[in-house]
Each structure stands twice: as C-alpha cells, then as structure tokens.
Structure 1
C-alpha cells in the first residue's frame, strides 16, 4: 500500500525538502521540530494551573497528560505495525534528511499528532492561546516534510490521529464531569 503512495508523494516531498537549502528556512524548521518534540507541550501543561486556577488547572494537567500518554501508545503501535520507511531512506539521494531520525519509520507523524491534539484541547479550554499555537502547529507539521522525515500523508494521518485523540479525551472528560455532577 505504501509503495504506491510513496511514489505519488515523492516529488512533492522532494520539492518541500528542497526548500531547506535556504538557511533561514532550515533554521525555522529545525527550531519548530525541536519545540514539537516536547518542550512546548510540557510548558503548556505546566502553565494550565496559572491559566485556569489551581483546581481546574490541575484537572486539565491530568487530562492533557493522560491524553498525551495514550496518544503516544497508539502512535507507537501504529508506527511499529505499519513500518513505512522514511522518505530520505526510500529516496536516499533525492530527499535529504536535515535532522536525525529517531527511528526508521515515518507513519504517522507523532509531532503533528501532538500539535493538532494540543491545539484541539486548547481550542476548548484556552482559546486565547490559539493565535500563538496554531502557527507553531503549522510549522511543526511542515517541518516534518521539510526536514525529509515524513511524507505529507504521514502528517495528515498524524493530524487526524491527534484530532481524534483530543475529541476522545474531551468526550471522556465531559462524561466524567457529568457523572460526578449527578452524584
């Protein structure tokens, strides 16, 4: 399945990764990717009590942390079962890797999954943060292709997975609150 998709996406990924010859753009992609590793999301989680007050903030901290841990488990399960080679591996000479890869496989994009997941949670709980987080999430997503680490479909799948995980979390947390309120 991925062989055919790889060939369809190859030229677009090659063009996107080729833009990394411009140093300012490459620096932007690398910084975005590093922030998307974990620092920005940990900072967001730790800031929740300051944003929402102690009680609500601690509940949201727990919700965001549990959601992230479950998302990582699902992501790793998918990644190790589907085994899609990264574009710089499949198309070695034509797509350059501009950042060390943690592993051999690309599907789905975990960086994008987290970016979309946290933006979705923030849209519900702290929408005033979205003007800051949405551009960063976009840069994180494009950095994955621009650095030669992912295909566009990896990024789209990561975004869908992150959105789904956030919706599941929001659904569970609202159900839990309704049950607690009824007792």
Structure 2
C-alpha cells in the first residue's frame, strides 16, 4: 500500500487555485469577449492605463492645491495607503503564484499588458478601491465620477483577460480594509482647521 505525503501549504494553495481557475474561466470568457469590440477594448485599455497610477498620482499632487490642509492630509493618506497596498500586493503575488487567466486558458485573450506575471490579487482594483474610499470619505461630492471609474477599473481587469473575478473581489476587499486602517492611523480630523 502506497503512503501519501501530506501536501505543503503552497502546493495546497496552487491546487486550490487550479480548481477555482477552471470554474472562474467560464465566467471570464464571456466578459473577455467584450474586448473583441474595438471601442470597448479601447475604453477598457484607457481605464486600465489610468489605473496604473497616473490619475492617482495627479490627484495626490492636485488635492493640496484645491483643498488646502484637508487635501494635503488626504494626499498623505493616499501615499501611506499606496505603500501598504503595494506591500500587500507584492507579498501575496509572491506567495500565491496564480497564473493569469490568459496564460492558463486558451479561450481567454490578453488584450492588455500585464505589469507582472501573476494574477492574485488585482493590484489595480486594490488601489482603486483604496484610493476611491479615501477620497470619497473626504469629498463625497466626487461619488458620481469616482464610483463608476473604480468599477470600470475592476471590470477592465477581467475584460482584458488579466484577472479572474476572485482576484478582483479580493483586491477590492483588501483595498477597503487598508483604507479603513489608514483612516484609523491617519485620521483627517487631526488636520481639520480649528474653529
């Protein structure tokens, strides 16, 4: 009788992702098919490119000019949160090594440029939710612009064949948790002008 060796944590995680990948690929394929329409592909490529950082960096520079002390505090929150987000994202990607959907499923076409090899979690979504939450907490009037933009960034990751839905969902969850942590550690109230 052959004895089985217990699987290591990394092997169990990889096997779990492989099973999940098969299920999620069925969800990804019809969403990824949207990228065959040129105008949709162009729109999602633009949204994804903005989510790489340029919009967020521009906002971090502009907020102090527009909102004064509150804007400076918000920019500091975003910088601190961005560093935390990048650290979490890199750590998780190095540990989980989940291949991107287009790399594992021939029916999913990559129409964007991946920033790195692995898929889990979506760093674009993590940062979009993180920054979006911080900004909307301070300036709720931006909701009609910012909420659709954040949603489009998350959707773009699946449309472009770069992420599975669970990558996006977990990225969004981590982004929200980090935003709340940043707000607890660096509250805007500490920067409010004295009455």
**TM-score calculated relative to the size of structure 1:** 0.91
Aligned counterpart, 2:113: 100
Distance 1:101 1:175 in 2: 35
Stretches of structure 2 lacking an aligned partner (at least 5 in a row): 1-15
Per the TM alignment, residue 176 of structure 1 is displaced from its structure 2 partner at its CA by 8.8
Whether the 8 Å CA contact 2:98–2:120 is kept in 1: the answer is yes
Residue 60 of structure 1 deviates from its aligned partner by 2.1
Distance change (3 Å), C-alpha of 1:20 and 1:175: closer
Matched, 1:4 2:16: no
Q: Give deviations 1:18-63, integer Å, cap 9, x for gaps.
A: 111111110111000000000111111112113321x232222222
More displaced stretch, 169-178 vs 44-53: 169-178
How many residues were matched structurally? 177
Partner of 1:57 in structure 2?
A: 71
Which of 144, 163, 182 aligns to 1:169? It is 182
> Which structure dedicates a bigger proportion of its chain to helix?
1
Aligned to 1:157: 170
Contact 1:122 / 1:130 at 8 angstroms: preserved in 2? Answer: no
The equivalences for 1:12-51 within 5 A come to 12-51=27-66
Quote the Cα distance in structure 2 between the aligned partners of 1:100 and 1:71.
21
- Coordinate RMSD, CA, aligned: 1.7
Displacement of 1:76 in angstroms is 0.4
Whose radius of gyration is greater, 1 or 2? 2
